Amino acid sequence: MTRTLAEAFPGAHCELDFTNPLELTVATILSAQSTDVRVNLTTPALFRRYRTAADYAGADRTELEELIRPTGFYRNKTTSLIGLGTALVERFGGEVPNRLEDLVTLPGIGRKTANVVLGNAFGIPGITVDTHFGRLVRRFEWTAEEDPVKVEHAVGALIPRKDWTMLSHWVIFHGRRVCHARKPACGACVLAADCPSFGTGPTEFETAAKLVKGEEAEHLLDLAERVRGGYKPGRGGAT
């Protein structure tokens, strides 16, 4: 299944826009109860105004709230961002630390955010258990755990550590484009032959194909048809 996902989403990546660890940390905090698209529309002006941890530490609350208002829960997020900047200045020389045990002590940062930052800003493998990831790995029956930390550990035991960050991207991409929460595109899914939850959504290819989203849709549908014909990704072609 991971080989198939790797072939389905060769360009999978963090869909939050950033240029440094601080920007990614801030964007990930803003993404809570929001969408990456909305965050990416909000952060350009934010990042122009606030460039350093000290900028966030000394931010005017009203101004910061207005800048991030479109992402929702802006008052709580403003408190987190000001607290984040203060903690970084006081404890880490104004820099985002690259250790999980340090990151999770910072305001607004739990294990999910910490693993996003580690994997995408520092190249340190981490599994990001967001709603898509948790839903899909339970559908795949890789784990029955509901608690995100337990999911992280259970899946981490199945997959080589070097692949953790990319696995997160592959699964999240698949969840956003194919394996939807309410009506997954089962009949047009590249994992149809291996997924124990096949049939949760429509199984007819033509019907399911209409549910596949994203710029990769044509590639995904082509690969799904090849898989239906017996092609095995990563195993030298048709069998």
Which residues are designated catalytic?
Answer: 112, 130
Q: How many degrees, rounded to 5, is the angle at CA 45 between CA 19 and CA 114?
A: 45
Decide: residue 147, CB within 10 A, 0-12 exposed, 13-18 middle, 19+ buried: exposed
